[in-house]
Structure 1
């Protein structure tokens, strides 16, 4: 049976506190509550780093992690840092280089969950970095919920994180547009959301197909093509203009679909719009 190593958690915000609680199998509370449940509370980061073989950082961003760990460089040697703070893949790579230069192993983690679900199968954590360190501390990482190891590249967890969150924020943008259009027509937000949630659930089922088309760069379709979606999106924007609802969130997508049609791809799959986002796709679409 795997036993948990000694772990120090730096950062007791909402997520950091939840991480510490899951490690302790404790209830809610900040440092004093965690102390009551068996945690030792360090007065300074240097003491926290020195106390444990696994150091989990759950701070605002990568610069904050570098600042906090910068005062404990002598204590880092021989330890493993698991960084769960948000940032870009480039920042993760830079932090990994700095941590390993101090003689420590580095793991990057992206937690795709709200703190309240941490430790359940619904909480998903992507980990990348030092393979040996991941295997050594897998038991500690597993208490966070469902865990996937993305690979040895320290930037991989962040790359997955920003890509997944981009999709989430795109959904939120459409949702807010939906609420505004509904209200302008006398429909409540609750009323339209009752229809929207099951519709989005059904619509999400096509995403794996779109992903396969994007990977293969093959966009033949007999269903949801560019032209069909251009017409639908144009109607949404026209409806918004008639009701005084701004269309600035969705207009850029229509502009990209228009460009695809102008280039002769109107009968191809909606997924072909990804070509306008690929590196080297040309000038940004202007609306």
Structure 2
């Protein structure tokens, strides 16, 4: 039986502990606020008074705290006790923070795996949950079956910052999707269309548009931006979207930002190119 220490019992950490207990693991749990997630007690969790107590007999230490500073504050005093153990850090953070933590772990002979959870707490252990991992490949493989209880495990490379990079990039795409959806809903509601009614039109439309993403990605990689709807045409079409937003009292920041990117490309002589060309404005080629 794998002995796990779970440090952090917030909304996500408590669900991570739950699926391990339900999967038959021995789990010692610690949280800064004692008594958090009482439902874990009935599942057989061992309550630890300190992080040191939690990790003492653990083979695998899983951390899911509020941020990198909180994680470092908890782990720094445990460096000697963690020696030889596998540390899986599921705290949301940046690639630079993950690499810094990996260097710290290496300095203290700790096997380090960084993770990015692509799921909400209620999705943990469910079929659509995905967790990205990077860092020590051998440590990941040793504990793959245990980690699979959280969600489908995908190892994305030896660079410990790669899981965080992909996690945050995916979340960035999600933010853009939700921002666009809310902008559209606000416009529709101004015209008397209920949000639920409009969602019935919006969701299939967004599904259809998502099908264009692979072609856009190919154009970015190959630097071939012809074949789609031209930026010169789209920059003009956005005038109507922006005007309709203003008429409805809806914030236009999202649309004017995108139109600004398009205009920059058109002004640079790329009006005949398609949307993929915007990558050069979003992240200029060095």
Post-superposition Cα deviations, 1:62-97, rounded to whole Å, max 9, x if no partner, equal 111110112222211011110001111001111111
- 1:285 counterpart residue number: none
- 1:203 counterpart residue number: 209
The separation in 2 between residues aligned to 1:35 and 1:242, in whole angstroms, is: 56
The separation in 2 between residues aligned to 1:32 and 1:169, in whole angstroms, is: 33
Moved more, 199-208 or 66-75: 66-75
3-state secondary structure, aligned to 1:9: strand
- 1:284 counterpart residue number: none
The offset of 1:181, in angstroms, is 1.0
The offset of 1:267, in angstroms, is 1.6
The offset of 1:212, in angstroms, is 1.0
1:136-215 pair list within 5 angstroms:
136-215=142-221
Structure 1 position 267 matched with structure 2 position 272 = yes
TM-score by length of 2: 0.92
3-state secondary structure, aligned to 1:125: strand
Q: Among residues 75, 80, 86, which one is paired with 1:74 in the alignment?
A: 80
Structure 2: state its 5+ residue gaps. 24-34
Structure 1 position 48 matched with structure 2 position 54 = yes
Alpha-carbon RMSD: 1.6
The offset of 1:180, in angstroms, is 1.6
**2:132–2:163: 8 Å Cα contact kept in structure 1?**
yes
Structure 1 position 58 matched with structure 2 position 64 = yes
The separation in 1 between residues aligned to 2:151 and 2:250, in whole angstroms, is: 41
Post-superposition Cα deviations, 1:232-284, rounded to whole Å, max 9, x if no partner, equal 32211011122322201221110000111111211211121111122456xxx
Moved more, 34-43 or 9-18: 34-43
The alignment covers a number of residue pairs equal to 275
- 1:97 counterpart residue number: 103
Q: Among residues 246, 252, 255, which one is paired with 1:250 in the alignment?
A: 255
Moved more, 148-157 or 32-41: 32-41
3-state secondary structure, aligned to 1:249: helix
Structure 1: state its 5+ residue gaps. 282-287
**2:261–2:282: 8 Å Cα contact kept in structure 1?**
no
Post-superposition Cα deviations, 1:147-184, rounded to whole Å, max 9, x if no partner, equal 11001110000010111111110111111211221122
The separation in 1 between residues aligned to 2:7 and 2:180, in whole angstroms, is: 36
Q: Among residues 21, 25, 28, which one is paired with 1:24 in the alignment?
A: 21
TM-score by length of 1: 0.91
Post-superposition Cα deviations, 1:10-48, rounded to whole Å, max 9, x if no partner, equal 00011101111111117xx95432222122111101111
Post-superposition Cα deviations, 1:120-169, rounded to whole Å, max 9, x if no partner, equal 22001100000110111111111112111001110000010111111110
